[in-house]
Amino acid sequence: MTGSPQQSTTTDTTTGTASGGFDGVLFDCDGVLVDSELITNGVLREMLHELGWAISAEDCIRLFIGRALKDEWKVILDRTGFRITDEWIARFRERRDERLRADLTAIPGAREAVAAASERFAGRIAVATGADLPKARMQLELTGLAPLFGDRVLSGMDQPRSKPAPDVYLAAAAAIGIDAGRAIVIEDTVSGTTAGVAAGATVLGFSPEGPTRTAPDALRAAGAVAVFTHMDELPALIETIARS
């Protein structure tokens, strides 16, 4: 997904207020740090077509982005009669990773925003993704973001529950030695925002223009205290809520 630096940050005053005293920042990965959503969703759509489900691009985005594929087996079963297996998911990941290696780019401004957050919070930053850990690490390596996070990359698939449950954000906060209630979370989906809020964190919603965008109102309704549209805006937004 891509954003426009001309668009302005909007702060929500109806779904909660941000407070000061933050100790670190937890970033989602797909759609926040790396422009992967259309690539991954496109591969999934191809494979669903092969199962006989002529799902549209719009419906594939709506039904699957922001959710763990393994948790969506029932909707696939209902539409295709096929119960996805570990082997099918492995084939999906193989095809997905091949496409990502060819086409993946970082979200514009992500490197600079992450570096600023790392400096602001003395390295207390982490990635908390709903995707599988090998994918997250591969994507960070491909885009040159990996050195900014080191080993502070966690997957919801390695937790008892994936997003929208808070487990991965609780684990990520613990990994950098902070309380989740003193963390800022950067998310671009409703399920991820729900997870961050459930963890007790303050969520900033990222809603750039593009076909996989989650509308600002939906992110606010899920509990984001502010919504921004380009990563260039993030450092100033963090300073604003830290002082409020």
At 118-144, the pLDDT tens digits run 999 999 999 999 999 999 999 999 999
Q: pLDDT of 93-106, one tens digit each?
A: 999 999 999 999 99
User: What does the alpha-carbon distance between residue 118 and residue 109 come to, in Å, rounded to a whole number?
Assistant: 14
Average pLDDT taken over every residue of the chain: 91
Is 224:201 a contact under the CB 8 Å cutoff? no
One-letter identity of residue 161:
R
pLDDT band at residue 242 under the 50/70/90 scheme? confident
One-letter identity of residue 22:
F
Distances in Å between the Cα of 137 and the Cα atoms of 29, 35, 97, 160, 238 are 10, 14, 11, 20, 25
* R_g over Cα of the chain: 17
pLDDT for 81 beyond 90? yes
Q: pLDDT of 165-175, one tens digit each?
A: 999 999 999 99
One-letter identity of residue 72:
E
The encoded tokens of residue 42 equal 């496109």
Separation of first and last alpha carbons in the chain = 30
